[in-house]
Amino acid sequence: MKITALVENDRIDERDDLRAEFGLSLHVEFNGSRILFDMGSSAAFANNAEALGVGIAEVGVAVVSHQHLDHGGGLERFFELNDRALVYLRRAPRVERYFKAFGVIKRPIGLDLDLLERFKERIEYVDDMRLIAPGAYLLTSIGSSHPRPQRQRGAEGSHRTMFSRS
């Protein structure tokens, strides 16, 4: 297995050709499959992929862990570069999601609902365990014996991942 971080909050100092951003994108090579896990906040994941020699067009399957912008903000760029891969996305209510603070700040943090509608034939919503590539499964319900962190005050919606209990 080979995992390449395409975007995250930091970058290697020596690689000023790579962009860091609030978000996550990982390219996973496993059992001959190429899987894109999350797409960061913007198209930066694709620019970094090119600089790192990772072909987004060769990705066979993609996963957006949850419907927040910092994990699926680059979804439109992914669709531009890859015309075949299915995108797995956890089923969630189709509502606008916002971050709210101090009664004056309100900014969107959810995925573009119009984009999800335009590319609905490329998106498979999941709410159960799913085989996505040979030997690679999405797990949507994992029990835990540890307490879960409390939801952030002011954030509408939840920050659940494909790997947590609904």
Domains of the chain listed by start with CATH number: 2-138 (3.60.15.10)
Which pLDDT score, from 0 to 100, does residue 93 have?
62
pLDDT band per the 50, 70, 90 thresholds, residue 126: very high
Work out the average pLDDT over 31-55.
96
Which tops the pLDDT comparison, 140 or 39? 39
Which tops the pLDDT comparison, 48 or 152? 48
120: CB partners within 8 A, 6+ apart: none
Residue 157 has pLDDT above 70, yes or no: no
Partners of residue 62 on adjacent β-strands = 36, 87
Which pLDDT score, from 0 to 100, does residue 151 have?
63
Work out the average pLDDT over 136-158.
67
Residue 99 has pLDDT above 80, yes or no: no
Which tops the pLDDT comparison, 85 or 66? 85
Question: What are the CA-CA distances from residue 160 to residues 27, 65, 71, 120, 127 (Å)?
Answer: 21, 8, 11, 22, 12
pLDDT band per the 50, 70, 90 thresholds, residue 69: confident
Which pLDDT score, from 0 to 100, does residue 164 have?
32
Lookup: tokens for 78: 């992914």
- Where does the chain show beta strands of DSSP type E? 2-7, 25-30, 33-37, 61-64, 86-90, 98-101, 105-108, 123-126, 130-133, 136-138
Work out the average pLDDT over 30-49.
96
Q: Which one-letter amino acid corresponds to residue 53?
A: G
Q: List the single range of 92-96, 131-135, 138-142, 157-161 with lowest mean pLDDT.
A: 157-161
Lookup: tokens for 123: 């998106």
Residue 160 has pLDDT above 70, yes or no: no
> Radius of gyration (Cα) for the chain, nearest Å?
16
Work out the average pLDDT over 137-141.
85
d(CA 73, CA 80): 13
151: CB partners within 8 A, 6+ apart: 158, 159
Work out the average pLDDT over 40-51.
96
